[in-house]
Amino acid sequence: MSSDQVVTRFAPSPTGFLHIGGARTALFNWLYARGRGGKFLLRIEDTDRERSTPEATAAILQGLTWLGLDWDDEPISQFERAPRHAEVAQQLLAEGKAYKCFSTQEEIAAFREAARAEGKSTLFRSPWRDADPATYPDAPYVIRIRAPQAGSTVIRDRVQGEVTIRNDQLDDMILLRSDGTPVYMLAVVVDDHDMGVTHVIRGDDHLNNAARQMMIYEAMGWDVPVWAHIPLIHGPDGKKLSKRHGALGAQEYQAMGFPAAGMRNYLARLGWSHGDDEFFTDDQAKAWFDLDGIGKSPARFDMKKLENLCGQHISVSDDAALRQEAEAYLAAAGLPALTEAQGKALETAMFCLKERARTFPELLEKAHFALVSRPVEPDEKAAKALETVSNGILSELTPQLQSASWTRNDLEATLGAFAENQGTKFGKLAGPLRAALAGRAVTPSVFDMMLVLGRDETLARLRDAAGRVGSN
Ligand code: GLU
């Protein structure tokens, strides 16, 4: 690994699904690394043994996979690295940068009580900080960092700017508990250092932690990573995103049928901008993404914008890829899978489906004509449309189509001429023809459907429909 290689990481706590805020954090880290030939690593912060579950880890990995955010190397389990975290605490102790503290819970509570009564800061000041080791009792102890007491700690954050914290507001935080387990704050720093993380891009709910984490970097003499604390995502009402605002899990968006490329584009725009660009490809996002483009105020989640971007991505996606993603959507939504023949038909029809579909349910609804097999049952609207023509018209049309060459131009000409002969306009025939071919009122164009279905199937459907309508 060259020393100037960018290394980012996503460090979720596996206590639930991958929520939309986490997905955005992961995306920012992924874009930053991928745009710079860097590495994007994954660390599962599973030290909270009661709340962490393997199911949650699996759900997070699945969510990232759906979003196409591939990571380098094996995901790291923070819990498994506990011995290494403890080793660092011991090293700081040996170097005098940390000390053993024998204060009991009761003593700490009494200290705080007294400080409160005197109107002083309740930050605990351990009497063991400068104690002579000869006076150490044979009792349980924690290891505390020897925090600087004067001056201030400055976090140079690429999003928030310079954040200064007075050192007298920081306590000698615990590094190692009396049972020998490391605290979370120590684990994060040791892991980020050992993983070679150069840029920490994460939610600004962690900004306060950065000051405490800096103390550990400095005590160890390690390079401090570039910090970028990104504002959280808010709902359309400007309040912090919550269940009230609807779906929170990344995979819920898959089950709603949003394409991953559209989701990536939308999430990238959620808090980051590149001029006025709204729609962009992954390659553009990787080339453009930088920390300077991240806004300081919280972004608002906007479903309409997500839908619009998704529609644009569907319209430019490759047909085979769309078929694959539509089939994955059906599985994610717990809907019946397509047969092989239906899958092929979907792909063949894709050219006339992808123009205006914003989601896979919309795309599949338009695809109904290609997925259904005869006899095509008209829905209510289609049945009404069919009532506007006589079976005579449909039966007269079939021989003309029999001899037409099956190209868009010829079909347009044939149907135009046919309508004229009937003393009507093609527009009047389109509704019943849609109904006959698709059993639906909203479909791709009649010509596109005919091209996809082919001559035999088209004629068979027209005959079926003629059999349904009366001879008025
Ligand atoms: N595990 C933390 C979280 O899920 C992230 C910690 C970090 O990024 O440093 O919020």
Mean pLDDT of the chain: 95
Residue located nearest, by CA, to atom 10 of ligand 1: 12
Is 305 known to sit in a ligand binding site?
no
- Kindly give, in sequence order, each residue whose CB lies less than 8 Å from that of residue 217, ignoring residues fewer than 6 positions away: 189, 193, 223, 224
Ligand 1: centre distance to CA 220 (Å): 21
Pick the atom of ligand 1 nearest to 205's CA.
10
- Measured by CA distance, the residue closest to atom 7 of ligand 1 is 11
Greatest CA separation for the chain: 111
Q: How far is the CA of 13 from the centre of ligand 1 (A)?
A: 7
Task: Using the mean position of ligand 1's atoms as its centre, give its distance from the Cα of residue 12 in Å.
Answer: 5
By the 8 A CB rule, do 295 and 228 touch? no
- Element containing residue 94 per DSSP (H, E): helix 82-94
Q: How far away, in angstroms, is 306 Cα from ligand 1 center? A: 26
- For the CA of 188, the nearest atom of ligand 1: 9
Residue list, ligand 1 pocket, CB within 6 Å: 11-13, 45, 188, 202, 206
Angstrom distance (rounded) from CA 303 to CA 306: 5
How far CA 106 is from CA of 109, 113, 386, 432, in Å, comes to 5, 10, 84, 83
156 neighbors 195 (Cβ within 8 angstroms): no
pTM as predicted:
0.93
Query: Torsions phi, psi of 53, nearest 5?
Result: -130, 150
Centroid of ligand 1 to alpha carbon of 10 (angstroms)? 8
Which of the residues 97, 240, 243, 428 is marked catalytic?
243
Which of 77, 206, 212 has most ligand 1 atoms within 8 Å of CB, for mutation?
Answer: 206
Lowest mean pLDDT among 267-276, 322-331, 394-403, 451-460: 394-403
SS3 264: helix
Q: Which atom of ligand 1 is nearest to the CA of 25?
A: 8
**pLDDT surpasses 80 at 2:** no
pLDDT of residue 3: 65
Determine the atom of ligand 1 nearest the C-alpha atom of 209: 9
**More confident call, 13 vs 243:** 13
Radius of gyration of the chain (CA): 32
For residue 202, which atom of ligand 1 is closest to its CA? 8
Lowest mean pLDDT: which of 3-17, 80-94, 240-254?
A: 240-254
Question: What does the pLDDT read at residue 467?
Answer: 87
- Report pLDDT for 32: 98
Pure H helices in 404-468 = 408-421, 426-438, 446-468
Q: Say if residue 471's pLDDT is above 60.
A: no
- Of 45, 190, 204, the residue with max ligand 1 atoms within 8 A of its CB, to mutate for a pocket test, comes to 45
In the sheet with 39-44, reading across from the earlier edge strand, the strands are 7-10, 39-44, 76-77
- Encode pLDDT of 84-139 as tens digits: 999 999 999 999 999 999 999 999 999 999 999 999 999 999 999 999 999 999 99
- Residue 292, phi then psi, degrees to nearest 5: -65, -25
Average pLDDT over residues 368-390: 93
Indicate if 243 belongs to the active site.
Answer: yes
Minimum CA distance residue for ligand 1 atom 3: 12
Euclidean distance between CA atoms 5 and 3, whole angstroms: 6
For residue 7, the number of C-alpha atoms closer than 13 Å in the C-beta half-sphere is: 20
pLDDT at 231 over 60: yes
**pLDDT of 472:** 45
Q: Which of 8, 13, 208 to mutate to test the pocket of ligand 1 (most atoms within 8 A of CB)?
A: 13
H/E element holding 233? strand 233-234
- Pairwise CA distance, residues 195 & 217, whole Å: 14
Phi/psi at 175 (5° precision): -100, -45
Share of the chain above pLDDT 70, in %: 99
